[in-house]
Amino acid sequence: MKILYAIQTTGNGHFTRSKEIISILNKRVEVDVVFSGPKNKLLNIDNKVINHYKGLTLFYTKKGQINWIQTFFKNNFFRAIIDIIQCNTNAYDIIINDFEPITAWSCYLKNRKCVSLSNQYAMFSDKKFLKSTKYRFTLLFLRYFSPTKKGYGFHLTKRKKNIFQPVVRKELKKTNVVVKDFYLVYLPNYSIEKLIQFFTHFKSYKWRIFSPLVENSYTFKNIKFEQINEKKFIKALLSSKGVISSSGFSTLSEALYLNKPLITIPINSHFEQIYNSSIIEKLGGTVLDELSLKNKQKLQKWLDDLAPVGLKNSQESIDVVDRILIDYIRTLSFNKNPINQFN
């Protein structure tokens, strides 16, 4: 059996999760990979990468809000349509898609087998929240961003037939970690100026900020700025006293898995992040509407309390892989017993 795994590269969460799952798939089937979105140095994988489409991505203001004008004018929709038409998935039995639009639309229009495997799928299964949201435009954009006819999802709390617990990187499952005197900050959509303006206000605390805008590590007053580096980020996440993060699913999942005190700041008008932050709030975490000194009292209270927020368990990647493969084996028609395909 041959699988094409399509990954959205906006942010790092889709890739880190997919990499864990692909490592298990590699032991069972042949896997090729396709990316779409921004290129970065973190996209290191042993599998054959057949293409890296420019794809579609969101753009943000310096204050961390979605910039819809830039999103529509800086994305090359004509190029995306050409890529969708030319995308050839005929050599694969299954296409697994982690919120990647080119292969999703290609399979959707050509009636090819494509399965969604993302936290977005779980979000769209929450009918109560969908009805209550005021972000109708963002909801519409996300719903048709990467369409598939079948899917599996990841959710922080809910468990259903096709909904799994979060997958976390195996490196985070270490024990005997020494907690050090600093707080991890990951707010990739805020400018360096905005981050300095806010966190230097809290002079008696040490902040370690990871940002895609940093090319080389440096220290400014009580802040250590770090370039995005997977090994450094994991080490900092393990040893930090607490985490301040945007409301991306993967970072939240890993902070919760480690029982870290957690503040999350969802991107303004970003439907998925607002959804994730609502769950964090129910779990006892702190949610800020923006990185602003108007919220300094909330942050100070969080620093004083440092109440941990956590998940009971994480999902083993092997369980996710087995479930998808077994379901597809049941639906495919082979001339011989399909189970023998894996022997």
Cα end-to-end span (Å), the chain: 11
Point out which residues pair with 5 in neighbouring strands.
33, 96
pLDDT beyond 80 at 175: no
Q: What tens digit of pLDDT does each residue of 209-253 get?
A: 999 999 999 999 999 999 999 899 999 999 999 999 999 999 999
Mean pLDDT, rounded, for 267-272: 80
Longest dimension (CA), the chain: 69
Q: Which two tokens stand for residue 270?
A: 């970003």
Give the HSE-up count for residue 73: Cα atoms under 13 Å, Cβ half-sphere: 5
Residue type, 342: F
Q: What burial letters (b/e) apply to 85-105, b meaning 16+ CB within 10 Å? A: eebebeebbbbbbbbbbbbbb
Q: Which residues contact residue 179 at a Cβ distance below 8 angstroms, ignoring those fewer than 6 apart? A: 239, 240, 241
CA atoms of 58 and 96, how far apart (whole Å): 22
pLDDT band, very low/low/confident/very high, at 198 (cuts 50, 70, 90): very high
170-305 folds as Rossmann fold (3.40.50)
Residue type, 301: K
Q: Which two tokens stand for residue 157?
A: 């709390």
CA atoms of 163 and 81, how far apart (whole Å): 31
The DSSP-derived string for 101-163 is HHHHHHHHHHT--EEEEEHHHHHTT-HHHHHH-S-HHHHHHHHTTS--SEEEEE-SS--BTTE
Among the CATH numbers 3.30.499.10, 3.40.1260.10, 2.170.150.70, 3.40.50.2000, which is that of 2-167+315-342? Answer: 3.40.50.2000
CA atoms of 147 and 142, how far apart (whole Å): 9
Q: What tens digit of pLDDT does each residue of 128-141 get?
A: 777 776 767 777 77
- pLDDT value at residue 239: 95
Q: What tens digit of pLDDT does each residue of 17-76 get?
A: 898 889 889 988 999 999 998 887 778 888 888 899 998 887 777 665 678 888 888 889
Q: What tens digit of pLDDT does each residue of 295-340 get?
A: 999 999 999 999 988 876 666 777 888 877 878 777 764 434 433 3
pLDDT beyond 80 at 181: yes
pLDDT > 90: percent of the chain? 43
CA atoms of 246 and 189, how far apart (whole Å): 8
Q: Tell me where in the chain the CATH 3.40.50.2000 domain(s) lie.
A: 2-167+315-342, 170-305
